[in-house]
Amino acid sequence: MGYLVLARKWRPQQFDDVVGQEHVTDTLRNAIAQKRIAHAFLFSGPRGVGKTTVARLLSKALNCATGPTGTPCGTCASCEEITGGSALDVIEIDGASNTGVDNVRDLNENIRYRPAAARFKVYIIDEVHMLSTAAFNALLKTLEEPPEHIKFIFATTEVQKLPATVVSRCQRYEFKRIPIAETITRLRAIATDEKLKVDDAALFALAREADGSMRDAQSLLDQVIVFAGKKIKEDDVRSALGVADRALLHRMTEAILNGDAPACLRGVDELHRHGYEVQQFCRDLVRQVRNLTVAALFDDRALLNDLPDDEVDETQRQAKLRPAPDLQRLFRLAQEAAEEVRRSQLPTLVLEMAVVKMATMPDATPIGDLLARLEEMERRLRGAGSAGSGGGTPTRSVGRAQPAAAPQPAAAPQPTAAPQPAAAPMARGRSAASEVVTPASATPPAGPTMPQAAAPVITPVAAGPSGSWEGFLGAAHERIGLRVYLVGSRPIEESAALLHIGVENEFAVRGLADPDNLATLQGIAAGCYGGTPRVKVSLLHRSEDEIAAAAASESARRRALTDQAEASPAVRAAVEILGGEVTTVRPRARGGTNG
């Protein structure tokens, strides 16, 4: 017989030999002992943790000459045939190669026939998630009510891809990643039997690289044996697998924590010269920064179970170099770096810039210091006097930029309002030309005031009585429901008989069409212009020259606000104490509160 790799040679032959999946093997043995054996099983979990192995063991347990039993003998004809892969009644199907509906139809046709020699005919479908939707649909009825002599065992690494109708018809068993300690124990037993001398550090490195997969751990051991022979040390594992020296990883984290950016660059250069895999180093760096964070937060060595004792001591020492909040920020940077390295065509350069950024990251300011600064700012603001207050002083936003607020027209003193007329019935419609009209009398107009063609460019006429529009606008701005619609509005015609208001958008036209708003506008107009003026609202179409002039005016207004704010002692004190920057200027709202 030719050479057999360790993963096949050491495949478990009894449920007791399966490592790290006791919750599965104990349940299956209990089911057999109680004669409560389901017709379909679904084994899901990471690669290399024993799904197919347990499926074969279950086939043995069901078809053993002494069974069904939780401890198959391994010597009867059925057990030997299943072990050798030659059992006629245990059919293993690769789901990735038999994805079509025709393959499932053949399966449905064959399950009618009874087993040739065994007690049950067992179908093991590996990577079952690879079957097509049509194939799953063809399997559903058979999976729900198979013949008594049929058992299905499905194995998959991506259970989320299975239809819910399939999962609901199976007993599901979730396989776990195998802990490092149990992987090391198994590898040590294999090394002893194979007459290998493997030091503990090498075993730990193999188990760590296997990442919970026993099959991967055995395959990696096979690879290192070919490289190093019968005596294996940690350096042999690193050289054979291209894994960076752990000492280099610890030197890198030491340099990051001490803010030594040149040492970080030298470490990346060493990584490159030795040919270590950059992506693997980034993953190791993320894990190590996680370990540093955990060590800084909790004094519990058990939480660092993926490290040998000497590395636990080193990690706990380094964790004292920076506070936990800084380490948490470093973890986020390391995680982002790992993602960027994975996607980049120049991973070494990306790693260099990432570790430099981590090394030069400033310390987080303690909350107590921030509170003290805020208290100092409040004290200085209170002492700034009237220089930082008043309706004319602009407010400044420190920190993240905010969109500039729309300009608020200044409100002139409101003239004494004349008695408002009794409420008359209001017109509720609006014309196709985006205009709203409310009559002064109880009888609404017969049709729209403006033609339904596209609105022409409107040229404002001469203003009416001096100060009337400012008084009207100031009174309207006292009502929040009107203020938002009148931003940027202007009078097109104003008199005791008609107030024609031009607004900038359809939203404002629709808002002012509300009967309550129209009634309020008419009452305000009567107080400002006298009589009972008719209120008309139209969409204001401005010429290009007017748009350019308005933009220039707004730009000048913002510059003036900025200059005024720069001279404010309160603003200067806030920037100085908080160490921020000013990003937005907006006028203080009416009444002295920030808008």
CATH code: domain of residue 184? 1.10.8.60
How many domains does the chain fold into? 4
Least reliable range by pLDDT among 226-230, 255-259, 367-371, 524-528: 367-371
Residues in CB range of 118: below 8 A, 6 or more apart: 63, 78, 87, 88, 89, 90
DSSP 3-state of 501? strand
Rounded CA-CA distance 426/428 in Å is 6
Contact 524, 514 (CB under 8 A): no
Rounded CA-CA distance 264/249 in Å is 10
Percent of the chain whose pLDDT exceeds 70: 81
Percent of the chain whose pLDDT exceeds 90: 38
Contact 49, 19 (CB under 8 A): no
Residue where a domain terminates, one of 151, 174, 197 = 174
Rounded CA-CA distance 273/595 in Å is 59
Phi, psi of 151 (to 5 degrees): -130, 135
Residues in CB range of 65: below 8 A, 6 or more apart: 73, 76, 77, 78, 79
Contact 179, 306 (CB under 8 A): no
Residue where a domain terminates, one of 359, 374, 405 = 359
50 and 165 both lie in a single domain? yes
Residue where a domain terminates, one of 325, 359, 393 = 359
- CATH number for the domain spanning 279: value is 1.20.272.10
Q: What is the mean pLDDT of residues 372-389?
A: 67
Q: Does 1 fall in a domain? A: no
Nearest-10 crossing angle of helices 200-210, 180-193: 120
Contact 28, 86 (CB under 8 A): no
276 and 220 both lie in a single domain? no
506 and 541 both lie in a single domain? yes
Residue numbers of the domain that contains 514: 366-440+461-595
258 and 344 both lie in a single domain? yes
- Is beta strand 534-539 parallel, antiparallel or unpaired with respect to 490-494? unpaired
399 pLDDT band, cuts 50/70/90, is very low
91 pairs with which residues across the strands?
Answer: 123
Other CB atoms within 10 A of residue 108 CB: 15
Each residue's pLDDT tens digit, 183-215: 999 999 999 999 999 988 899 989 988 888 999
Rounded CA-CA distance 565/568 in Å is 5
pLDDT of 261 above 90: yes
Q: What is the mean pLDDT of residues 430-443?
A: 38
- CATH number for the domain spanning 98: value is 3.40.50.300
129 and 266 both lie in a single domain? no
Q: Does 454 fall in a domain? A: no
12 and 152 both lie in a single domain? yes
Least reliable range by pLDDT among 249-263, 276-290, 368-382: 368-382
Contact 315, 292 (CB under 8 A): yes
Structure tokens at 580: 């921020």
Residue with the bigger pLDDT between 401 and 146: it is 146
Q: What is the mean pLDDT of residues 60-76?
A: 91
Other CB atoms within 10 A of residue 255 CB: 20
Q: Does 456 fall in a domain? A: no
171 pairs with which residues across the strands?
Answer: 41
Q: What is the pLDDT of residue 280?
A: 87
483 and 373 both lie in a single domain? yes
Q: Does 455 fall in a domain? A: no
86 and 205 both lie in a single domain? no
Query: What is the DSSP code (8-state) at residue 345?
Result: S
Rounded CA-CA distance 305/316 in Å is 13
